[in-house]
Amino acid sequence: MSSRFQHHGHVVRVAVLFAAGFLTFLVARAWLIPADFGVYGFYRAGALDAVRAQPIKYAGQTPCLDCHAEVDELRQTERHRNVSCEACHGPSAAHVEDFSIAPATLDPRALCLRCHTALAGKPDFMPQIVPADHFEDAACTECHAPHAPKQ
């Protein structure tokens, strides 16, 4: 009479393969994941120091308005009142610390089209245009004032 477990070799081979794969996974995980990972949940604790070491690029809106109050007054009457200065003018921390460093030169057409190109998912309250139908090569600032576009 033959035993029920006579052909168990294939099960043992699969179990050994599974164990080898699991052991490989554990070794790779220990080698690839930093020791400080998971200290603050699903984050690496050293990332906080790495971020702190990066130079500050954005100054925020307050330093802009300290020198450019007239622009803010004009902007408050228009739809761009909730748009931060650096959203259009780029990072300005270097300019705030040293006024001889000019902010980046802007390409008004590319800048305006980032927000105002017609797309189906955009909210209805945001003016949208089809660039090819709306003065295709002209700069937006030829007809619209950037801080008060309705004027």
Digit-coded pLDDT (tens) for 7-28: 778 888 999 999 999 999 999 9
5 confidence band (pLDDT: 50, 70, 90): low
Contact assessment for residue 61 and residue 71, using Cβ atoms and an 8 Å cutoff: no
Calculate the average pLDDT of the chain: 86
Mean pLDDT across 59-70: 88
Mean pLDDT across 55-65: 88
φ and ψ at 88, to 5 degrees? Answer: -105, -40
Both structure tokens of 35? 């020791």
